[in-house]
Amino acid sequence: MHGIMKDYRLFDISDFVLDDDFIRWVNNPKKADDDFWNDWLSANPDKYMLIAEARKILESFRTEELMISEQERETEINKLLHTITEGNIPDEIPEPRIPAHVVSVSKKRWWFAAAAIVIGLVVTTGYFLRSEHKRSAEFAYHVVTPAKHLIESVNTSEKTISLTLPDQSVVELAPDSRIAYPNNFDSNNTRDVYLSGEAFFKVTKNPARPFRVFANEIVTKVLGTSFIVRSFEADTVIQVTVKTGKVSVYSQANKTKLDDSSSQYSGIILTPNQELVYKRLEQQFQKSLLANPAEIIPRGGDQENMVYDEAPLEKVFGQLGKNYGINIVYDVELLKKCTVTADLRNESFYRKLDLICKAIGADYEIIDGQIVIVTKGCK
């Protein structure tokens, strides 16, 4: 049976392309195989992109049975192993003849994956692999999961490309990145997209249908905002950065504890100028502020009012936090008599903070994406 002694969530591309159950599903699927993999993908939607890439690798080859001698097997295996261990990957790799926009796998990963397939099939089945004639221009996601008819967009250029989703949300897709999404969101309670790589999202607000980005192990859920998700398959961390609005981020491992279809926020909450880093090996989240927080209040607004003459500290911190969307925590009672005289209009966020703290004899720490003022009172 499927899945016995196997934890498919721990598989990478080469594991899938060498797995007998997965190969059988790709090459000669039966109803039981379709049911198993569709159920597994429904439970692990963050793996759609990984499964799609693994399928592409297998489908880019045609297998034919071939009787070869033991000596021939060992010779071919040793050649491949020597090439991999010595790092002598050729400049011109005979990749499968698939259109460039279909696959966004690096040259080295293609070579390693293809080599793994050859070794595995030669050793276990006596098959050999050869490239197929030109395949269809676009991978059919409905083959991966019939319940979801997804459109795939891949950026193989060197510049960011702009995409408009069915709900008019805008995606700026970075180079070497790919995204998949339904041709409409009308039939679902949520608006789900699947990302491998990096993208900036500007989401159309719709409280009735939360927008969710599945990016490997994590899910980012919003109602309407702008944010960046970076989740390349080879990276050891996944990053979510909020520009405007509010998002919640949670891991796929904890999804059963959350009401994904609810419009209420759950998981770790991020607000403007906050960044969440998910360490994939440790399965840990770390929330922090950006190195250079951006102003979310346009010039001509409260920025012009950041000239102070003996202004109460509460007013100064209030405007600073509002302009950048950053929570500033301090002891109001301890600092209620503090005042500030300064012109902060043309300074960066941290420079403003330094000047204020110097004026009142305080320091600050960044804790859990917030500014915490450390002081014993005004001098």
Highest mean pLDDT among 41-55, 69-83, 115-129, 270-284: 270-284
Residue 246's CB is within 10 A of a number of other CB atoms, namely 17
131 pLDDT exceeds 80?
A: no
> For 212-229, what is the mean pLDDT?
89
**Any idea what the CATH number is for the domain that residue 307 is in?**
3.55.50.30
CA atoms of 293 and 296, how far apart (whole Å): 9
Same domain, residue pair 204 and 275: yes
Instruction: Determine which of 107-121, 170-184, 311-325, 328-342 has the lowest per-residue pLDDT on average.
Output: 107-121
Question: Where does the chain have alpha helices with state H?
Answer: 13-17, 20-27, 31-43, 48-59, 70-86, 107-124, 141-144, 313-324, 349-360
- pLDDT tier for residue 26 given thresholds of 50, 70 and 90: confident
Same domain, residue pair 343 and 278: no
> For 14-25, what is the mean pLDDT?
83
Residues 172/159, Cβ–Cβ less than 8 Å = no
Same domain, residue pair 347 and 262: no
Same domain, residue pair 320 and 226: no
Q: Is residue 365 part of a domain?
A: yes
3-state secondary structure of 130: strand
Same domain, residue pair 276 and 351: no
Question: pTM for the whole thing?
Answer: 0.63
Show which of 232, 254, 289 is a domain's final residue: 289
**What total of structural domains would you count in the chain?**
3
Q: Is residue 29 part of a domain?
A: yes
Going by DSSP bridges, is the β-strand pair 218-222/226-231 parallel, antiparallel, or unpaired? unpaired
Say which residues have a Cβ less than 8 Å from residue 100's Cβ, sequence separation at least 6.
156
Tokens 């998981």 belong to residue: 267
Q: Is residue 107 part of a domain?
A: yes
pLDDT the model gives residue 152: 86
Same domain, residue pair 346 and 283: no
Same domain, residue pair 270 and 154: yes
120 pLDDT exceeds 50?
A: no
CA atoms of 91 and 207, how far apart (whole Å): 50
CA atoms of 179 and 374, how far apart (whole Å): 44
Q: Is residue 362 part of a domain?
A: yes
Q: What is the DSSP letter of 315?
A: H
> For 146-154, what is the mean pLDDT?
73
Same domain, residue pair 162 and 283: yes
pLDDT the model gives residue 253: 67
What is the DSSP secondary-structure string of 145-180? Answer: -TT--EEEEEE-SSS-EEEE-TTS-EEEEPTTEEEE
Show which of 230, 254, 289 is a domain's final residue: 289
pLDDT above 70 coverage of the chain, percent: 68
**Any idea what the CATH number is for the domain that residue 230 is in?**
2.60.120.1440
- pLDDT tier for residue 150 given thresholds of 50, 70 and 90: confident
More reliable by pLDDT, 98 or 1: 1
pLDDT the model gives residue 115: 53
Q: Is residue 2 part of a domain?
A: no
- pLDDT tier for residue 229 given thresholds of 50, 70 and 90: very high
Same domain, residue pair 284 and 154: yes
Q: Is residue 137 part of a domain?
A: no
> For 338-364, what is the mean pLDDT?
91
Tokens 């197929």 belong to residue: 132
pLDDT the model gives residue 102: 37
Same domain, residue pair 96 and 164: no
Show which of 81, 96, 131 is a domain's final residue: 131
Residues 221/240, Cβ–Cβ less than 8 Å = no
More reliable by pLDDT, 350 or 125: 350
More reliable by pLDDT, 306 or 264: 306
159 pLDDT exceeds 70?
A: yes
pLDDT the model gives residue 87: 52
Q: Is residue 295 part of a domain?
A: no
Same domain, residue pair 154 and 248: yes
Q: Is residue 60 part of a domain?
A: yes
More reliable by pLDDT, 326 or 56: 326
Q: What is the DSSP letter of 233?
A: T
What letters, b where the CB count within 10 A reaches 16 and e where it falls short, cover 144-163? bbeebebebbbbeeeeebee
Query: Among 121, 111, 144, which Cα is nearest to 20's?
Result: 121
Domain interval for residue 312: 302-374
More reliable by pLDDT, 346 or 379: 346
Q: 61-103: per-residue pLDDT in tens? A: 544 434 455 566 566 656 655 665 555 544 444 443 333 333 4
> For 249-270, what is the mean pLDDT?
63
Say which residues have a Cβ less than 8 Å from residue 116's Cβ, sequence separation at least 6.
14, 17, 18
What letters, b where the CB count within 10 A reaches 16 and e where it falls short, cover 271-294? bbbbbbebeeeeeebebebbeebe
Average pLDDT of the chain to the nearest whole number: 75
Same domain, residue pair 177 and 112: no
CA atoms of 302 and 324, how far apart (whole Å): 11
Say which residues have a Cβ less than 8 Å from residue 133's Cβ, sequence separation at least 6.
97
Residue 6's CB is within 10 A of a number of other CB atoms, namely 13
